[in-house]
Amino acid sequence: MVFGTFDGIHKGHLNFFKQAKNFTKNSFLIVSIARDSNVLKIKGRKPDLVETERLKLIKECNFVDKTILAGKTNYLKHILKESPDIIALGYDQKAYVQNLKKDIKNKGLKIRIIRLKPYKEKIFKNHLLKI
């Protein structure tokens, strides 16, 4: 399972999905799309595409097996529902890692959390990538 806003799709996103999908043999990749209200809270701006458009866009990606909308207030609820074996985080997804690890442990879950590599080592923001 991976998480993100995915406000448009670029080569970095495709690489992110490919890394997650290929981490284990016969994997099933679930992509959790951030809700518009949470993007506004976290990034301080609304996404260019509304959540239903972003959901549809990611559903069309060949590497993705299932696309879901994240929770509006409880980020853990949809993770528990999907029950992934692995959560793959991007190199820049640092803000909530400690809480995620703690919450997963407190629920008694055995979900492995891994960190994926950046698509381009010197580019650290997705708006710098061009398709």
pLDDT of the residue at 28: 97
Name the band, by pLDDT with cuts 50, 70 and 90, for residue 128.
Answer: very low
CB within 8 A of 63, min separation 6: which ones?
A: 14, 17, 18, 20, 21, 29
Question: How many whole angstroms separate alpha carbon 66 and alpha carbon 30?
Answer: 5
CATH number 3.60.21.10 given to 2-128: no
pLDDT of the residue at 121: 67
